[in-house]
Amino acid sequence: MTTTPIHHGAAAASAVPPRRRLLAAAAALALGGAPFATRAGDAFPSKPITMIAAFPPGGPADVLARAMAPTMGRLLGQPFIVENLPGAGGAIAVQRLLSLPADGHTLIMGSPNEAILAPLAIASARYKAENLALLAPVSTHPLVVMGRPELPYGSLEEIVAAAKKAGRTGLTFGSPGHGTMYHIVAEYLAQATGVQLVHVPYKGASPLLADLAGQQIDFTILPNLGGSIPLIETGKIKAVTVLDMARMKTLPKVPAVVEGNLPHKAEFVHSVWLGVMARAGIPADRIQLLVEASQKAIQSPEMVRALAISGTEPFPPQPLADSARFYAGEIAKYEKMARSVKLAAQ
């Protein structure tokens, strides 16, 4: 577990007398920069806010959580802590969140992996997707097929052809865990093309990419965010195909999957979203406070830079009701995909 306190001008509530806090808030309001905490009263937030990243440092969730931290800490008027809790496809992180009170002091940088798929894939994950609430979608990232540096195949079609030739031994692919979206997408690809692939699960993207660069596995499917970016830029891993309708600005020489000749290629267009999530049941006034702070943090210079590196844009701000509808639709979609590949809980 990695826990990093991030302080950006936010002092602990107990260190500042209430009257001084109110005077400071009034002065900040006059300047147009009031911390949100004062608008909801001194009761919330009353202690540091923790955002959990369900995967190791350097992965997509960790990168975006840390990019949001400066603005979140400033607006909420409390220290903002990023806590990495990897393992079990993100289920460990979610179970930690759900073990804590629904008071808004703990959030998670969530994705379909830990929120929706982990309880379908991991027998010990005793929660449902509906136990979580999506407060603010942060970004959506096209998935990229990435190969080991000496992989002799330059397209997804060539990977499929090689897997067919290999038969039962197949090619090896890594994912950040059984039942993660990246595992499901690869299994769906194998099912749709009639090939067999050998799955190698990891505890997160960082150790997976290290083994990919070290020639220990053949390929993986991940968003190009965090640790994969410098590895692709330096040739230590190979970007093969972008699973999107168009090429990415940051990978202009890498073809989109729809440019190839695979049958039903539009079915292989996949992206993963990341968003600020919380335990369901938090009081409505606190939820609204967290939504507003999250949406401002998503548009912060730190977040804009982090997303620009990956070639993606922030999710536009939207009402909480729209986020709830979006999340309900995602639950239905990923549950259908899991049934399609006969995902079994382990």
| 12, containing H or E segment | none
Distance of CA 141 to the CA centre of its chain: 9
| Residue ranges matching CATH 3.40.190.10 in the chain | 142-271
Residue 190 is given by DSSP the state H
Residue 302, judged by CB atoms within 10 A of its CB (0-12, 13-18, 19+), counts as middle
Q: Name which of 138, 3, 15, 26 is nearest 71 in CA terms.
A: 138
Find out whether 340 and 259 touch, Cβ atoms under 8 Å: no
Q: Name which of 161, 87, 57, 118 is nearest 338 in CA terms.
A: 118
Can you give the pLDDT at residue 36?
Answer: 54
Q: Determine the residue type at 48.
A: P
List all residues 6 or more positions away from 328 whose beta carbon is below 8 Å from its beta carbon: none
**CA 166, 169, 175, 179 torsion: positive or negative?**
positive
Find out whether 136 and 107 touch, Cβ atoms under 8 Å: no
Rounded CA separation 118/95 (Å): 11
Can you give the pLDDT at residue 313?
Answer: 77
CATH of domain 2-140+273-340: 3.40.190.150
Q: Name which of 245, 243, 239, 246 is nearest 219 in CA terms.
A: 239
Rounded CA separation 38/253 (Å): 49
Positions of E strands within 253-297: 271-279
pTM of the model: 0.78
| Residue ranges matching CATH 3.40.190.150 in the chain | 2-140+273-340
Positions of E strands within the chain: 2-6, 49-53, 80-84, 106-110, 132-147, 171-175, 197-201, 219-223, 238-243, 271-279
Find out whether 189 and 337 touch, Cβ atoms under 8 Å: no
Q: What is the pLDDT along the chain (346 residues), one digit of tens a residue?
A: 545 444 433 333 333 343 333 333 333 332 234 455 444 445 799 999 999 999 888 777 898 999 999 999 999 999 999 999 988 878 999 999 999 999 999 999 999 999 999 999 999 998 999 999 999 999 998 999 999 999 999 999 999 999 998 877 779 999 988 888 999 999 999 999 999 999 999 888 889 999 999 999 999 999 887 789 999 999 999 999 999 999 998 899 999 999 998 888 888 999 999 999 999 999 999 999 999 999 999 999 999 998 888 777 788 899 999 999 999 999 999 999 999 999 888 8
Q: What phi-psi label fits residue 278: left (phi over 0), alpha (psi between -120 and 50 degrees) or beta?
A: beta
What are the angstrom distances between the C-alpha of 7 and each of 49, 59, 81?
11, 21, 8
Which CATH homologous superfamily contains domain 142-271?
Answer: Periplasmic binding protein-like II (3.40.190.10)
Rounded CA separation 229/251 (Å): 10
Residue 315 is given by DSSP the state P
b/e sequence 74-86, b meaning 16+ C-beta within 10 Å: bbbbbbbbbbbbb
Strands 132-147 and 219-223, by their bridges, are: antiparallel
Residue 258 is given by DSSP the state G
List all residues 6 or more positions away from 286 whose beta carbon is below 8 Å from its beta carbon: 40, 44, 103, 104
Rounded CA separation 246/205 (Å): 24
